[in-house]
Structure 1
Amino acid sequence: MMNTQTIDLYAQLNVPRNGATGGYLHAYVPNRSKETVKKTHPAIIICAGGAYRFLSDREDEPIALRFAVLGYCAFTLEYTVNAAYPVPLIEACMATAYLREHADEYCISPTHIGVLGFSAGGNLAAMHATLFAEKEVQAALGAHAQYVRPDAAVLCYPVATLDICTHGESCEVITGGDKKLRDRISPEKRVTKDSAPAFIWHTYEDDGVPVENSLLLATAYRKAGVPFALHVFEKGWHGMSLCNAIVSNQTAADVEMYHVGKWFDLAIDWLAAHGFRLEVAGEK
């Protein structure tokens, strides 16, 4: 009942690669059942973390499968690592444009396409939610650029600032060491009334990406008048992913923190409140 495939976004949208090694979208899409009426699915694009140096497999397929069993069309984005702005952002925007332009093919609601990211992937998802109209995106995607804004963002312990509380390595890679880029592409400084609504979660104890990242971003959302939800768990370290036996080493410390995994159900409920639901096609 599951259709898995890999989509080369550069080829599909006819965008020159210019040396990019990523830009692939991996689909986890329910096949249409002959025994039920046609349904329209919400979609989620998942961006794993890894300091823009690698893509964490703990924050990739396991998350897609959790969404897929709930009726989502889930996609993991294999974005280019060790590449500075705007390459990863352009690839995230290509993913949204591709899904919106192929919504009928995947039985996706074109108005319910979200992006989710962890850590550095959370930085990418936050940029996607706030910087989707940047000149580099417009120049690279041309006519496709009108379809790139995500309808919601789920940001998991995100690198949401490139300022004093940032994650140094992620910041260095995405800016290419260009200090002038820090203010320009730092998500918490770029929230406007047009930014996508966001569900944000973090842990107080996170010593990899400080909780200030999420607090600053939530404050920016509040000032811009854009809907958001913020959850800060007291305990827990950086990179917890789903916080369950599938993505942990099942040590006593891991098991003690499994309650933090409630973030997933909270996010699903928040997305549902924003219209991300499985629906009978043609009905509202």
Structure 2
Amino acid sequence: MAKEIIELKVDYEKAGIKDIGDKPTLECYYSTLTEEIGRKKHRALIICPGGGYDYCSEREAEPIAFRFIAHGISCFVLRYTCQRAFPQDALECAAAVKYVRENAAKYDIDPNKIAVMGFSAGGHLAATMANLWNSEILTKPLGCTPEDIKVNASVLCYAVLTSEPEFTHEGSIQNLLRGRENDQELRDFLAMEKRVGAHTPPTFLWHCADDGCVRVQNSLFYMTSLAKYWIPFESHIYEHGGHGLGLCDETTATWEGHIQPVAAAWADAAIKWLLRL
């Protein structure tokens, strides 16, 4: 396995966003090319850690990449900046997709098999990418075509998906609304269940029914929208576990409540799902 860290280039000014200096990075974990093994055209997975659009969780970054690359899925951990209101982080995620697709030969990946994965607020970012890849909100500032940033699949882990006050994670939504807290139109636009359409890629979702931080309705509303448009999806709702579980085992646990053997099945299920696509 090889690893490198690259700095993503985003022209924020084209989106009307002030560039304050910090840059998003992409940690690239990929299989080393050897003459004996030859090229495999691996699947690619762009990982968006959670953190309420306030920071990027370490527990939902490299440990996740290690689990998935062990099954031949090249992984790219996005450290988005969490500095400005929407669409800054979405532009950074789009730039990550664009970079991976443009460098498909370098990393020996299939440019038509690029998935996004996100945890909690990172799940909202992944869903934003899955639903807005064909929008000028992302393509115009990046100077690219929709096909350049098209997402072929998404994996949403206890994701913030709705903006309905009763069910969302309000802190995440408020961070996306920075400076526009009373903009109801933007708040509604950030409800990802309302952005689903025929262009939305196949989706894998999992959540815990007792999640008291990001309520399970986020995934349920989203699944209803996927079903409405006949988008293929696989979902797993676990009875117990709460929020922020990562891999649900000792690998990412910071206390005993993070160890949930039943919910830990999600990773193998997601790997099998990705390999079937």
Q: Same fold (TM over 0.5)?
A: yes
Where does residue 151 of structure 1 map in the other structure? Answer: 152
The Cα offsets for residues 49-92 of structure 1, whole Å up to 9 and x where unpaired, read as 00001111000000011111111111100101132111011111
Residue 15 (structure 1) shift: 6.7
Q: Secondary structure at the match of 1:143?
A: coil
C-alpha distance in 2, partners of 1:143/1:200?
Answer: 29
User: 2:230 is aligned with what amino acid?
Assistant: G
User: 1:245 is aligned with what amino acid?
Assistant: E
Aligned counterparts, 1:67-78, within 5 A: 67-78=68-79
Q: Secondary structure at the match of 1:83?
A: coil
C-alpha distance in 2, partners of 1:231/1:22?
Answer: 35
Residue 216 (structure 1) shift: 0.2
Residue 41 (structure 1) shift: 0.7
Which 10-residue stretch deviates more, 85-94 or 173-182?
173-182
C-alpha distance in 1, partners of 2:32/2:271?
Answer: 21
Residue 236 (structure 1) shift: 0.5
C-alpha distance in 1, partners of 2:35/2:187?
Answer: 51
Q: Secondary structure at the match of 1:193?
A: coil
Where does residue 57 of structure 1 map in the other structure? Answer: 58
The Cα offsets for residues 13-59 of structure 1, whole Å up to 9 and x where unpaired, read as x7768226242111111111233232211100000000001111000
Q: Secondary structure at the match of 1:39?
A: coil
Residue 110 (structure 1) shift: 0.5
Matched, 1:8 2:11: no
Matched, 1:92 2:75: no
Structure-2-length-normalised TM-score: 0.92
Where does residue 247 of structure 2 map in the other structure? Answer: 242
C-alpha distance in 2, partners of 1:244/1:146?
Answer: 37
C-alpha distance in 2, partners of 1:82/1:94?
Answer: 16
The alignment yields a C-alpha RMSD, in angstroms, of 1.6
Where does residue 263 of structure 1 map in the other structure? Answer: 266
Would the aligned equivalents of 1:152 and 1:196 in 2 still touch at CA under 8 Å? yes
Residue 269 (structure 1) shift: 1.3
Mark the runs of 5 or more structure 2 residues left unpaired by the alignment: none
Compared CA separation, residues 144 and 5, structure 1 to 2 (3 A): farther
Residue 155 (structure 1) shift: 0.1
Residue 250 (structure 1) shift: 5.5
Residue 254 (structure 1) shift: 4.2
The number of residue pairs the alignment matches comes to 269
The Cα offsets for residues 142-200 of structure 1, whole Å up to 9 and x where unpaired, read as 13543111100000000010113110000001122233211123110010000111101
Matched, 1:216 2:221: yes
Would the aligned equivalents of 1:47 and 1:115 in 2 still touch at CA under 8 Å? yes
Q: Which of the residues 163, 184, 187 maps onto 2:189?
A: 184
Where does residue 132 of structure 1 map in the other structure? Answer: 133
C-alpha distance in 2, partners of 1:173/1:271?
Answer: 31
Mark the runs of 5 or more structure 1 residues left unpaired by the alignment: 275-284
Would the aligned equivalents of 1:52 and 1:83 in 2 still touch at CA under 8 Å? no
Structure-1-length-normalised TM-score: 0.90
C-alpha distance in 2, partners of 1:233/1:71?
Answer: 27
C-alpha distance in 2, partners of 1:152/1:224?
Answer: 15
Compared CA separation, residues 250 and 181, structure 1 to 2 (3 A): closer
